[in-house]
Structure 1
Amino acid sequence: MLAMNKFRILGTTAIAIAASVIITSCKDKRSTGWEYAPNMYEHIAYEPDQANANFKDGKTAQVPPAGTIPVGFKRFDYPNNKDGYEKASLEVKNLLANNQKNFAEGKALFVTFCSPCHGMTGQGDGLVVQHGYPPPPSYSKGQSSRGGAMKDLTDGKIYHTITYGVNAMGSYASQVAPDERWKIVMYVHHLQNL
């Protein structure tokens, strides 16, 4: 008798569970069920181009406060003109150690970014020149378009030129990090003596 009561209770419980599952599953066909961590898929952050009532101008994308510097950014406070070029020549010096590792990295960077125009030895005979473009001056024999011999270019002048570009050479500031520019400067000094 006791065993029959247990089966009756278990059977009734199973029927109740099955009935509740059937009833709740038929309610809404579009429902995905319970939501676990809805903030993971219901986007609550503002997109940069969305209106945003949290700011006075109503824009989400805000201009950074004056005087702030992005993480990892190094300032180069010399304007992109002849005066900035000359001032950089006098004030800017390469602070990286002149060792074999930096020299080798400078050579690799030069081959990647500079040799297409300047050539492997800095003589202005790169692949771009072979396709009909005007050659840049030779580092060891040429004259700078800003005045003076290319072999006399200082750290600051070379760094300024890599940062801003000159004549047909565009700026490499977005492709070459400041430390990498200094390594290229180191290698260009080697090419000036060839």
Structure 2
Amino acid sequence: MLAMNKNRILGATAIVIAATVVLSSCKDKRSTGWEYAPNMYEHIAYDPDQANPNFKDGKTAQVPPAGTIPVGFVKFDYPNTKEGYELAGAQVKSPLFLTSKNIEEGKVLFTSFCSPCHGQHGQGDGEVVAHGFPAPPSYSKGQSSRGGNMSDLTDGKIYHTITYGVNAMGSYASQLSPEERWKVVMYVHQLQKTL
């Protein structure tokens, strides 16, 4: 008798579950079902391109207030001119300590970003030269296009050149952070000493 009641209970339970599945699956074809964390789909914040009644001009994306500086931005107050280059050469010194770790990190950055043109040892014999492009001057024995020996370039002149570029070399300000640029400067000084 107990086994018979047990079978009836299991059978009734199976029928109820089957009926629930059938009825719930036929309800609304467009339903996505239960949502876990609906605020991920229906956020309350305004999108940047959306109209926004909270501002006078009705735009969500606002221009930053005058004189503000983005977080992490390091200002370089020397213009991209010959005068700015010379002034940076005379006034700008590396804020980083000369350590073997910084030089080693500078070498890694130099190898990735600079050696395709300047070569592994800064002699102006990178891969691009093998493909017919003009060779940049050697750090240890070449002449700068702005005047003077490449081996005499100061911290500020090298940093200015990495930041703004010169001749066929483009700016690396978007690829290298200011701290990374200073590490490359340290490594270039090491290459200036090699003959």
Q: What is the CA distance between 1:192 and its match in structure 2?
A: 1.0
Aligned-partner SS, 1:116:
helix
The residue that corresponds to 1:64 in the other structure is: 64
- Number of equivalences: 176
CA shift in 2, pair 1:43/1:124, >3 Å:
same
CA shift in 2, pair 1:43/1:184, >3 Å:
same
Q: What is the CA distance between 1:56 and its match in structure 2?
A: 2.3
The residue that corresponds to 1:133 in the other structure is: 133
The residue that corresponds to 2:150 in the other structure is: 150
What are the superposed Cα offsets for residues 163-185 of structure 1, whole Å, 9 maximum, x if unpaired? 11111101111111111111110
Q: Does 1:49 align with 2:73?
A: no
TM superposition score normalised by structure 2: 0.80
- Report the Cα distance in structure 1 between the residues aligned to 2:124 and 2:193, rounded to whole angstroms: 15
Q: Does 1:123 align with 2:123?
A: yes
The residue that corresponds to 1:159 in the other structure is: 159
CA shift in 2, pair 1:132/1:35, >3 Å:
closer
Q: Read off the aligned partner of 2:42 and give its amino acid letter.
A: E
Q: Does 1:87 align with 2:114?
A: no
- Report the Cα distance in structure 2 between the residues aligned to 1:117 and 1:34, rounded to whole angstroms: 57
Deviating runs (4+, > 4 A) in structure 1?
24-28, 30-37
- Report the Cα distance in structure 1 between the residues aligned to 2:142 and 2:126, rounded to whole angstroms: 15
Please, which runs of 5 or more residues in structure 1 have no aligned partner?
1-17
- Report the Cα distance in structure 2 between the residues aligned to 1:34 and 1:117, rounded to whole angstroms: 57
What are the superposed Cα offsets for residues 99-145 of structure 1, whole Å, 9 maximum, x if unpaired? 11111111111111100000111111100111011111111111111
Q: What is the CA distance between 1:38 and its match in structure 2?
A: 3.8
CA shift in 2, pair 1:113/1:25, >3 Å:
closer
TM superposition score normalised by structure 1: 0.80
Q: Read off the aligned partner of 2:171 and give its amino acid letter.
A: S
Q: Read off the aligned partner of 1:125 and give its amino acid letter.
A: D
CA RMSD of aligned residues (A): 2.4
Q: Read off the aligned partner of 1:111 and give its amino acid letter.
A: T
The residue that corresponds to 1:77 in the other structure is: 77
The residue that corresponds to 2:187 in the other structure is: 187
Q: Which has the higher mean CA deviation after the structures are superposed, 41-50 or 177-186?
A: 41-50
Please, which runs of 5 or more residues in structure 2 have no aligned partner?
1-16
